[in-house]
Amino acid sequence: MTSLLPELRTCLREPIPEIEDAARFLDAAVSAHLQGQRVIAEELFRLADNRRIWDWTNSVWGKNSPYVQYRSVASAPSVLPKELRVKVRMPTAAEKAQIHARDGYHCRFCGMPVIRPEVRKMICAAYPVAVAWGNTNETQHAAFQAMWAQYDHILPHARGGNNELENIVLACAACNFGRMSFVLEEVGLFDPRETSPRKSSWDGLERFSK
């Protein structure tokens, strides 16, 4: 069967407009919170919890996603046994700070605004009803789920990738989890390091924690 997907893409699936709308709601919610307007902030956090965003995210990282189509690449490294992989899988806090200094707060693949989980946890604690974060995908706030900042290995950890900053880019949850342990070529993706990070006024809601 011939794939309907193009040979190379920048991301697995382009973000839908509702995600940018949600980012504006979240940004306004944090501004309202900092001004002491909790009722307004809570309503804005609720508005960002759009089911269409949840559907988008889960269409990419879900089982048998039509947006993740494997193609064989002869030169791709094999999956390594766990004992042969780099022992420390994730970058340190200091290394993550360097990644954000370089990449800002946007996914390097799809350009989506992202939010560090540490910031999300603070907001969840302050607004536990409006910003739910349960143990299942279905019980997590749609916008915070989609914008969940990830530190994605270009050469996957399971394929021998290390934690050098040149091998890690900032990604959203869908782009990171959707790619799984495939190398870029196996899912038809351009190398995001070949393009400059997206620049905008989006601060990842970091000011909430200051």
Q: Looking at the domain assignment, is residue 24 inside a domain?
A: no
Range of the domain at 175: 71-198
Q: Where are the alpha helices (DSSP H) in 70-135?
A: 93-103, 117-126
- Please report where in the chains the tokens 């839908």 appear, as a residue: 16
Is 46 a domain residue? Answer: no
CA distance 178 to 47: 26
pLDDT(124) > 60: yes
Within-domain flag for 118: yes
138 occurs within a structural domain = yes
Residue position matching structure tokens 């919610």: 29
Does the residue 111 lie in any domain?
yes
Cα-based distances in Å from 15 to 59, 70, 134, 145, 172: 11, 21, 23, 13, 10
Question: Confidence class of residue 176 from pLDDT cuts 50, 70 and 90?
Answer: very high
Across the range 53-63, mean pLDDT stands at 94
pLDDT band at 63 (very low <50, low <70, confident <90, very high): confident
Q: How many domains does the chain have?
A: 1
Query: What's the pLDDT tens digit per position in 18-57?
Result: 999 999 999 999 999 999 999 999 999 999 999 999 999 9
- pTM tops 0.75, yes or no: yes
**pLDDT at residue 1, rounded to an integer:** 41
In a domain, 44, yes or no: no
Q: At what angle do helices 17-34 and 51-61 cross, to 10 degrees?
A: 120
- Host H or E run for residue 47: helix 38-47
- In a domain, residue 26? The reply is no
Would 66 be classed as within a structural domain?
no
